[in-house]
Chains A and B, each alone.
Chain A
């Protein structure tokens, strides 16, 4: 703090935010984010803000304006399949490029990895995980399971205490990201106010619309060297519309599962047509009938995770 009032170092060093931005290669990450993640506007905005803040922070440090390291612990809330884990992975990469974390690896854990089964088992287990995450990002999926109010002798509380301590004392060493469904995270934070105050960024992941899901589906297929025939594309659009209305809809995850089943049917169709010559094109294309065969189109609302 005291340094901030001192004169800036000799001859007001030329500050070139643009050059700094180019040097950090961060644009590359943004482009990749834009290319591979459909929608998610509030999330992307927040990532840009954080990146800008860290970049400015770096410049300030170079000019001798001391500041405290910003807290970057985050909480990602959103429905299943909205890309929380994917973004967490990207986050590790971004923070690494900005020099905020040293290694840039992601350690993804759930309650099982943190909480032990008997007295005295939890602390070493949690500490082991924390040590592994040092220099990177610790991603705790479905974090609300850590706290079980119905059982007052639950060991989850012990893990929470250690995590809180680490989030405070090792701020320079790791970034903790909690993820989970919005309503349950809300009650989790409500019963653990220490967590809420230690987390600087609460990012909400919105649900996808029909067109976004279609774009995601096409992106997934593209990555596996498949494509939809024009007929299949309209069919898939109709499929998504119907699937969205059904229970247990899990956004991008449902799309992925649907496409996996379509690939299954495509393989089956090609198999049934044995004897005819197969073109490279035929191996890559998913036809309308592969999509239309789905149980979602049968209309009967007999749901079993939807086939």
Chain B
């Protein structure tokens, strides 16, 4: 049974939609900037849903006022890591929030092999299940 055609991972916002165009990304960035959230770019090649800490690409951009500057950084990151997952996060620093308010994928590998279920037998016929990403069979940096 294939419930997710093409094995596209679905994390963060808009991940069930087709890939965002640069204009759409700019519009989302504009929204974040309007709310005074700081934008950051992160990348990873481990697609597991519980992998929440991605590598940061450069510093968080607290001082940029216009989407064009951030789009330049995104394109830089795409050029450096064309076959990685890249996401944009918008961090809200107001007291009480202090957390990312937006997060969406802006780049994904050309071929995503997807996930399988791995079973581990425990004592007394107990079985524990785990989600296993085929990509992580290979070492970091060679996965996609």
Which A residues are closer than 8 A to B by beta carbons? 102-103, 105, 127, 130-136, 170, 173-174
Contact = CB atoms under 8 A, between A and B. Distances in A.
A213 to B, nearest CB: 36
A130 B73 CA distance: 12
A132 B66 CA distance: 8
Contacts of A134: 64-69, 72
Nearest to B59: A128
B23 interface: no
What is the size category of the interface that chain B forms with chain A?
A: 10 to 19
A105 B68 contact: no
B142 interface: no
Which DSSP category, helix, strand, loop or mixed, fits chain A's interface? loop
Contacts of B63: 132
A105 B66 CA distance: 10
Contacts of B64: 131-132, 134
B68 A132 contact: no
Contacts of A103: 65-66
A136 B68 contact: no
Contact of A105 (B61, B65, B67, B72): B65
Contacts of B61: 131
A105 B69 CA distance: 14
The interface centre, meaning the residue of B61, B68, B70 with most chain A CB atoms within 10 A of its CB, is B68
B65 A173 contact: no
A55 B61 CA distance: 34
A128 B72 CA distance: 10
Contacts of B67: 134-135
